[in-house]
Structure 1
Amino acid sequence: MTQRHLDRLLAPESVAVFGASDKPGRVGTTVWRNLVAGGFKGALAPVNPRLPELDGARCFGDVAGLPFVPELAVLCTPPDTIAPLIGQLGALGTRAAIIVTAGLTMQQKQAALDAARPHTLRLLGPNCIGLLSPHLGLNASFTQASALPGELALVSQSGALLTALLDWANAEQIGFSHLISLGEHMDVDFGDLLDHLATDRRTRAILLYIESINSPRKFMSAARAAARAKPVIVVKAGRAPAGMQAAASHTGAMAGEDFVFDAAIRRAGMLRVDTLQDLFIAAQTLARFRDNHSRELMVMTNGGGAGVMVADAASSLGVPLARPSPALMQRLNAVLPASWSHGNPIDIIGDAPAQRYVDTLKALFDAPEAGAVLFVHAPTAIVPSEAIARACAPLMAEHSGRVLSCWMGGHSVAPARRAFEAAGIAGYDTPEDAVRAFALMQTYRRNQATLRQTPSASTRSEPDRVKARSIIDAAIAAGREWLDEVQAKALLATYGIPVVPTFRVDASPQAAAEAARCIDGPVALKVVSSAILHKSDAGGVRLDLQGADAVRAAAQDMLAHLQLTRPEALVEGFSVQAMVRRPHAHELIVGAHVDAIFGPVLLFGQGGIATEVLGDRAVALPPLNRTLARELVERTRVARLLAGYRGRPPAHLDALCDTLTAVAQMLADLPEMAELDINPLLADERGVVALDARVRLSSMAPSGMARFAVRPYPAELTRTLYWRGSTLVMRPIRPEDEALHREFLEACTPEDLRMRFFQAPHALTHDDLARMTQIDYEREMALVIVDEQAPGSPNTLGVARLVRDPDNVDAEFAVLVRSDLKGQGLGRLLMQALLDYAASRGTQRLVGYVLRENRAMLNLLKPMGFDIQPDGAQPPEILVASRAVAA
């Protein structure tokens, strides 16, 4: 319903438990006693009409009898009581409730939502274990144990998994800021909690256990915002393909739901792990090693066997080991025995005294190639592990962001582990765990790089949408579900995808022969039948046919073969096309499919008739730009072949990426497109060409921009302005505007920048500009006015920004006009555009913060109806400007 009041849920000052009981084995009994035992300092009230008191506390009979308004209510009562209780609590002033009760029908759930909505009362559950906020001593759950306070937030759809994780975490002394069981998440869901936890000062990293996603765009928008602020690590149940169904296209068969979920996690900048153990390994690594950007690992150990274990793990996980430079080798030769390993892993020999460890570490920390160091130690009887740890810990603490550690063993190395932990060093039980942690970091960094791309859904050239629309409309009107090959290729051509010219003729061998006479050189003959989708498998393709007679004979043979093997399939005709001779070309597949959860999906991989057998594919969510398209390609094995090998030139990757972005644009523009296969798509140094294509349509319009899990670039907001004799363009900002935006900000005076950002200007970094240009269009907007006809290159003249809160109630705005153009009406144009945009999105109010001395901004806002007042929550030099948005 709303983001509001989650603070009442996670950090309440008072709690009432409805259905609190003294009967053993009752959920209400456990919840009440957990609350009491947890040490919660706020007011507590048990509610049970049959008990005068409970565990020494006065018991209340109903909502009306409560002596205070509980900020949080925990409901453990029968299903038919839930909706009435929520209505009464909402009227009283309660704004959050946990529905522990299971077994609510759909009608009872809807009644509960209807009762909560007028009061914006938040509902966690039903059928959930509850939640814990250990820093408050709040255990509003029926877990078997309390939790230690810490900085990890865990949100789980599975109550059983949450209790198991809690038990394991307590044994490992791992603490939490919050543990939250979502249950059936009929109101509070992952998106709500990600938005809240992203700004929660007690939470350093967010852990999610996900079984299903109900609101994909809300989830993706919240996840992308949270992942920019802190690590978000996900365990997703259901990797096995048991739930996958057969699909008509290669793409539908290969783009299984788990591949799509992986694509969503990658696009959101989160990290997915496979096991609960990896969940906590990743959490520790990202907490202590997050800022390390090394791609290679330098290993230091006191045992050759341990070094071999690390090298094997690194090889299997694709982690490269750094090569020591001659300078580092010289340093190590000076401090190590002659018998040291003289390579990476660096084996300093099992008899090493503490000083040898320190000397080796100093050499490594001085070496630029040793950006990430894995310290592996096996206990010996010569030097106590604790003595080595005490000697190394001060040096380690100075370089904690560069070190991973593994103290192999148990009781004997426990003090050493504690010493390194106190120094802020990430530690692991086994060498394999340490290497896996480093590999997870590589994945996390790649996903973060993907997150920072918020691409346009457009291609380099404008497609012929009118012609594409006519092809779709004609097929839908004729009741066709599948476009034939000629229609499919014509549709691709409207979006600039190169295709092989193809003739469509009726089901006559003579007509096929006549078409072949119009083509120089050998031809390919293919059957046209809406009942035959995979033509090669059915014997409906003949290649390298020379001359009309060969084509006629092949057509006759094909018809006879299909009559025997597929008598039910109506042959509607033949397609005849020139054979393409491109000896260096690779056969690829590009496809599109509509996932039941995340909507339109793109697939890329190795193509040809064995594409499903090879299984070399990668999946991505649209929209795409070239950067994201290239990242999609690089996640396949065929990418290494496309780079060129043994004299074979590299393929034209830009042409391939443009094809991928064009398909993404088709998914946005053509909602009726349900499936697409381009297979094979030939790619070589000259570019790409589609040899065959298949498109399935649906009048239900399953695709389209509205179904994208990531909102595409809103090109529809672009408009032309006529200002002081110049023709300007106002449009949403694009990631590609980074250089243009830098020039704009550098053209503003330091004083104007201080008025806008409330601080003295500083040198702009790539990250600064990325935050300004790579925005999430679902919850943000930045409109720029650009003079595209300026001499030399386009110029940005002004920008207006708006960031909506997750409830879409308030939106914070800011406006900046180039310093030499102030007072000429651009600011008013931008401000009015923001008001219009906010109204179109249903936002209720615009709010901005203005320095008292910024007279130009105040003079702009007052005539436009903004109320400008001091705000006690802000410093006295800052005023708050607000205005309701007209519907």
Structure 2
Amino acid sequence: MGVENINRMFQPKSVAVVGASERPGSIGNALMRNLIKSEFSGTVYPVNPNHKTIWKHPAYPSVQDIKASIDLVIISTPIVTAPQIVRCCVDSEAGGVVIISAGGKETGTSGKKIEAAIKKEIKHSGLRVIGPNCLGIVCGKAALNASFASHMPLKGKMAFISQSGAICTSILDLSIKEQFGFSYFISLGSMLDVDFGDMIDYLGGDPEVSSIVMYIEGLNRFRNFMSAARAVSRVKPIVALKSGRTRAGAKAAASHTGSMAGEDTVYDAAFRRAGIVRVKTFEELFDCAELLAKQPRPRGSGLAVITNAGGPGVMAADALADYGIEPAALLPETAIKLEAILPSYWNCGNPIDILGDAAAERYNKVVEICLNAREINGLLIMLSPVAQVDPADIAESIIGLLGGKKIPVITSWIGGSYVEAGRKIFNKAGIPTFDTPERAIRAFMDLDLYAKNIEMLQEIPSKFPKKLEFDRKKAKELVNNKIEAGEFNMTEIDSLSLLEAYGIPVNPAIKALSAKEAGDKAEATGFPVVIKINSKDISHKTDAGGIALNIKNKAEAIDSFANIMRNAKEYNPEAVIEGVTIQPMVNDVDYELILGAKKDHDFGPVILFGMGGTLTEVIKDMAIALPPINRLLARRLMEQTKVYSILQGFRSRPPADLVFIEEILIRLSQMVTDIAEIEELDINPLVIKQGKICAVDARVILKPADIPAPFHLVISPYPNQHEEIITHPKLGELLIRPIRPDDATLLENLFNTLSPQSVYHRFFGYLKRLPHSMLARFTQIDYDREIAFVALSNTKDGEIMLGAARVITQINRKHAEFAVLVGDPWQGKGIGAELLKRCLAIAREHGIEKVWGMVLYENTQMLSLSKKIGFTIKKNPGAGVYELNLELGKAKL
């Protein structure tokens, strides 16, 4: 469906109100009042068959009676009328509909049927629907208040999106009190059609929006949501309050991973991967929203705290410590400046206690010093009421120093009515103010978290020293055979075989069906051994008494077989038992880890890493991430756990091979990317002994997949299928493949081969180097939104990149822009044509209809290439460029 019609909804030239009324207290009356009082410049059409005029506007019996183009239709009549009205809107070629009416799926079966009928009406049209059961929408730029809210928001550059109308009205009321505004105010309601992903996409492209704040009860179209958020969060902060944090998962899981990676933990991981700052409470959402609306982003976590009392300063420092942060260490130059203006008995540190008798002059001097101190990235100014000074006077005097500040400044005037006038002064001046130090610190740390998210999103992963190989055929055959046989709980031996197919080292296991066979095979393996129950119906072997450790001879092995079989039968009489497994005993290990995977109902597969062993679920030292992952993401996953610091070496234990653990995590990620049927997977423990790593125990649970790989992931994985080796007549073998995040260095080297003229042709300006942010932008792409191919050659000096081409989809997903870059030594050899044709072919497969680009007059090589492919070329004298357009259906590929 078209995002262009979403634009018609928020920037309408005409609005029809179905159910318009003059009856006081009615929603139809509130909608008309808000549209008219908001000074909306477009045409308003009341629709009500019982009236000739409403609010001095001619009324119409129905939408189809309006003989004019309608951009937006608002429906406030009972929801049973909505399907018919929506049909009329489709016939009238309206842009979109906002259904205020309640009574949809939230009411049960009857409501679901009504929503299904509405979906049926819009299925093959471009009409977009917001709602039902929503407050409406507000757009400041269009002076549009198409809601029944009590007020028009103040003007600002922050967009607010909520499923809850009550949360909308509460935020609106508080925003007016705190004096910050919005560019958009959107109530999505039941999200029958337009959802959070759509709105993030739309708002991300609007220069009037500087940040996006969301209240989320639930999501749909999760892959679209993640794709939109990952794209937009790089340029605009996104803050979310997701309600229902304490809800249990859908059902108890059979594996350690399933029980530990609960629903809310997965949302945390998803938001972190998308660059979204997640807040936990309504108060924190409001505080963070205020700070985003009023303050610049911090350059780092270095916060200075100015206070006129020691106690609040300590409270602020303690609040920072809860985030693992210390107040900024003052440089000697800053301390000397402060010492010159503060009493000799000041504390000489941060928090900066300027003492209880500090009046406006002292506050001003200290604030000015801190604003100019290079070690300070943020400033918290606090005041506790004392009889000697007027809180309002101090607030008024500080305001003058804060114009054009480059760091975020927040205030905390602590107290009640005595300091309220000071708070009002700050609010009016656009300076965030909080009633406690803890709230102020929390808001600053949310802002700092966003800055760190962006930094993490733009980090460039390093390459592995070797190419990772996988036996996908063997793994798929193993899984498919089990699914076809109806065996969804894989035995330990089969689970270990699956891991081996993906290159994960395992402790080999063999099966024994009798006591004698157990004794013989244990002896052949070599003592000591471990013997374990072999049953797909017993998940946790230790709980069932199904493990015998450190078996030292044949007699012990025979006895252990009997004990294990007896214990297992008592634990689960219905279990199907296939004897035991025998493995070499790994004693005196240095570390035990758990690695796992679980298919979340909403976000698809997630990867788990943490401290392993029998106490895994008690200690719960673990972190999760969404696949696919690279080296950087694997390391970030490890760093979130406490065991990570131990793995770097602890007392007499040697450091673990962290690079190899990264590799194993990536192999696990690739496995769940390739095999959609993996429901749950445990490797517990993954042991490390004297530098060697292996999976000692494993458990895999399968389930037929509703969605095939790789579409079961919410993040599009690297498309391996598009890799191809070609033979170039002059350059020999070239690898043509999609670009990867770890190609940044190769791309940088390619740029360095360009002459100033080539740089100018490609970038329409002169660049001496590719900035880090641009390298990240070009290599860390969303394969759902962009297509980018590179040509690589292996030389005696290593791999080099000869050229790159990309097609970038526009906001409506039907149109895209192309770009080609070939190094000077390889220009004119057909590399650009080869890469661009592949990009265009895949773009056509993705449903892209038109591709465009701009080429400078003097870029004759690009013009020649474009003509061969079939682009139409139009001269734009005003811009000094040719505009190139291609209908992909007519392309010569």
TM-score by length of 1: 0.94
The verdict on how the C-alpha distance between 1:3 and 1:417 changes in structure 2, with shifts beyond 3 A counting, is same
2:678 matched residue in structure 1: 673
2:377 matched residue in structure 1: 371
Which of 744, 751, 766 pairs up with 1:738?
A: 744
Question: 1:509-555: CA deviations, max 9, x gaps?
Answer: 21111111123332111011122111100100111111111111121
Matched, 1:865 2:870: yes
Distance 1:182 1:338 in 2: 58
CA displacement at 1:120 relative to structure 2: 1.1
Distance 2:706 2:521 in 1: 36
Matched, 1:66 2:66: yes
Preserved contact between residue 783 and residue 801 of structure 1 (Cα < 8 Å): yes
Q: Which residue identity does 1:716 align to in structure 2? A: Q
Matched, 1:849 2:854: yes
2:260 matched residue in structure 1: 254
Matched, 1:350 2:353: no
SS in 2 for 1:707: coil
Q: Which residue identity does 2:700 align to in structure 1? A: V
CA displacement at 1:481 relative to structure 2: 1.1
Matched, 1:10 2:15: no
1:31 matched residue in structure 2: 31
CA displacement at 1:581 relative to structure 2: 2.5
2:107 matched residue in structure 1: none
Describe how 1:71-150 pairs up with structure 2 within 5 A.
Answer: 71-104=71-104, 105-150=111-156
CA displacement at 1:273 relative to structure 2: 0.5
The verdict on how the C-alpha distance between 1:106 and 1:415 changes in structure 2, with shifts beyond 3 A counting, is closer
Q: Which residue identity does 1:497 align to in structure 2? A: I
1:526 matched residue in structure 2: 532
Matched, 1:754 2:755: no
Q: Which residue identity does 1:796 align to in structure 2? A: M
Q: Which residue identity does 2:479 align to in structure 1? A: I
Preserved contact between residue 311 and residue 345 of structure 1 (Cα < 8 Å): yes
Question: 1:701-731: CA deviations, max 9, x gaps?
Answer: 6673211111011121111121124111111
1:314 matched residue in structure 2: 320
Distance 2:101 2:372 in 1: 60
Q: Which residue identity does 2:186 align to in structure 1? A: I
Q: Which residue identity does 1:569 align to in structure 2? A: A
Matched, 1:486 2:493: yes
Distance 1:488 1:335 in 2: 70
Q: Which residue identity does 1:885 align to in structure 2? A: L
2:53 matched residue in structure 1: 53
Distance 2:342 2:60 in 1: 75
Distance 2:189 2:98 in 1: 10
Preserved contact between residue 319 and residue 439 of structure 1 (Cα < 8 Å): no
Describe how 1:373-392 pairs up with structure 2 within 5 A.
Answer: 373-392=379-398
Question: 1:183-240: CA deviations, max 9, x gaps?
Answer: 2212211111111101212211111111111101111111111111211110111101
2:880 matched residue in structure 1: 877
CA displacement at 1:456 relative to structure 2: 11
1:239 matched residue in structure 2: 245
Preserved contact between residue 181 and residue 293 of structure 2 (Cα < 8 Å): no
Distance 2:795 2:520 in 1: 56
Task: Tell which deviates more after alignment, 110-119 or 201-210.
Answer: 110-119
Describe how 1:385-400 pairs up with structure 2 within 5 A.
Answer: 385-397=391-403, 399-400=405-406
Which of 655, 658, 677 pairs up with 2:660?
A: 655
1:497 matched residue in structure 2: 504
SS in 2 for 1:4: helix
2:291 matched residue in structure 1: 285
Q: Which residue identity does 1:92 align to in structure 2? A: S
CA displacement at 1:395 relative to structure 2: 4.2
Where structure 1 has 5 or more consecutive residues not aligned to the other structure, the ranges are none
1:300 matched residue in structure 2: 306
Distance 1:398 1:33 in 2: 39
CA displacement at 1:663 relative to structure 2: 0.8
Distance 1:57 1:673 in 2: 61
Q: Which residue identity does 2:743 align to in structure 1? A: D
Task: Tell which deviates more after alignment, 213-222 or 96-105.
Answer: 96-105
Task: Tell which deviates more after alignment, 438-447 or 621-630.
Answer: 438-447
CA displacement at 1:110 relative to structure 2: 3.8
CA displacement at 1:795 relative to structure 2: 1.7
Task: Tell which deviates more after alignment, 576-585 or 619-628.
Answer: 576-585
Task: Tell which deviates more after alignment, 736-745 or 28-37.
Answer: 28-37
Q: Which residue identity does 1:869 align to in structure 2? A: K
SS in 1 for 2:28: helix
SS in 1 for 2:701: strand
Matched, 1:695 2:697: no
Distance 1:878 1:739 in 2: 31
Distance 2:639 2:790 in 1: 33
Which of 590, 602, 616 pairs up with 1:584?
A: 590
CA displacement at 1:681 relative to structure 2: 1.3
CA displacement at 1:31 relative to structure 2: 1.9
The verdict on how the C-alpha distance between 1:456 and 1:316 changes in structure 2, with shifts beyond 3 A counting, is closer
Describe how 1:784-823 pairs up with structure 2 within 5 A.
Answer: 784-787=790-793, 789-823=794-828
SS in 1 for 2:322: helix
2:728 matched residue in structure 1: 723
1:184 matched residue in structure 2: 190
Alignment root-mean-square deviation, CA: 2.5
The verdict on how the C-alpha distance between 1:479 and 1:883 changes in structure 2, with shifts beyond 3 A counting, is same
Task: Tell which deviates more after alignment, 738-747 or 651-660.
Answer: 651-660
Task: Tell which deviates more after alignment, 222-231 or 473-482.
Answer: 473-482
Q: Which residue identity does 2:60 align to in structure 1? A: F
1:154 matched residue in structure 2: 160
Preserved contact between residue 532 and residue 538 of structure 1 (Cα < 8 Å): yes
Preserved contact between residue 400 and residue 424 of structure 1 (Cα < 8 Å): no
Distance 2:606 2:6 in 1: 33
The verdict on how the C-alpha distance between 1:27 and 1:353 changes in structure 2, with shifts beyond 3 A counting, is closer
Q: Which residue identity does 2:36 align to in structure 1? A: V
The verdict on how the C-alpha distance between 1:743 and 1:426 changes in structure 2, with shifts beyond 3 A counting, is farther
The verdict on how the C-alpha distance between 1:400 and 1:426 changes in structure 2, with shifts beyond 3 A counting, is farther
The verdict on how the C-alpha distance between 1:370 and 1:386 changes in structure 2, with shifts beyond 3 A counting, is same
Preserved contact between residue 300 and residue 451 of structure 2 (Cα < 8 Å): no
Question: 1:391-444: CA deviations, max 9, x gaps?
Answer: 544544454415333232455545655665677654333211121123223432
Distance 1:693 1:824 in 2: 52
Q: Percent identity?
A: 39
SS in 1 for 2:525: coil
Matched, 1:828 2:833: yes
Distance 2:247 2:463 in 1: 30
CA displacement at 1:307 relative to structure 2: 1.0
CA displacement at 1:597 relative to structure 2: 0.8
SS in 2 for 1:339: coil
Distance 2:804 2:838 in 1: 11
Distance 2:399 2:31 in 1: 44
Matched, 1:622 2:602: no
CA displacement at 1:700 relative to structure 2: 3.1
Preserved contact between residue 462 and residue 742 of structure 2 (Cα < 8 Å): no
CA displacement at 1:474 relative to structure 2: 3.1
Distance 2:686 2:528 in 1: 19
SS in 1 for 2:60: coil
Preserved contact between residue 303 and residue 378 of structure 1 (Cα < 8 Å): yes
Question: 1:826-869: CA deviations, max 9, x gaps?
Answer: 22212211221112212111111222332222222123211112
Question: 1:309-328: CA deviations, max 9, x gaps?
Answer: 11222223322223334554
The verdict on how the C-alpha distance between 1:719 and 1:392 changes in structure 2, with shifts beyond 3 A counting, is same
Q: Which residue identity does 2:68 align to in structure 1? A: F
1:705 matched residue in structure 2: 710
Distance 2:655 2:337 in 1: 41
The verdict on how the C-alpha distance between 1:579 and 1:392 changes in structure 2, with shifts beyond 3 A counting, is same
Distance 1:867 1:773 in 2: 29
1:550 matched residue in structure 2: 556
What is the number of equivalent residue pairs in this alignment? 882
CA displacement at 1:565 relative to structure 2: 3.8
Preserved contact between residue 320 and residue 326 of structure 2 (Cα < 8 Å): yes
Which of 538, 543, 546 pairs up with 2:544?
A: 538
Preserved contact between residue 179 and residue 430 of structure 2 (Cα < 8 Å): no
Task: Tell which deviates more after alignment, 116-125 or 256-265.
Answer: 116-125
TM-score by length of 2: 0.94
The verdict on how the C-alpha distance between 1:819 and 1:423 changes in structure 2, with shifts beyond 3 A counting, is farther
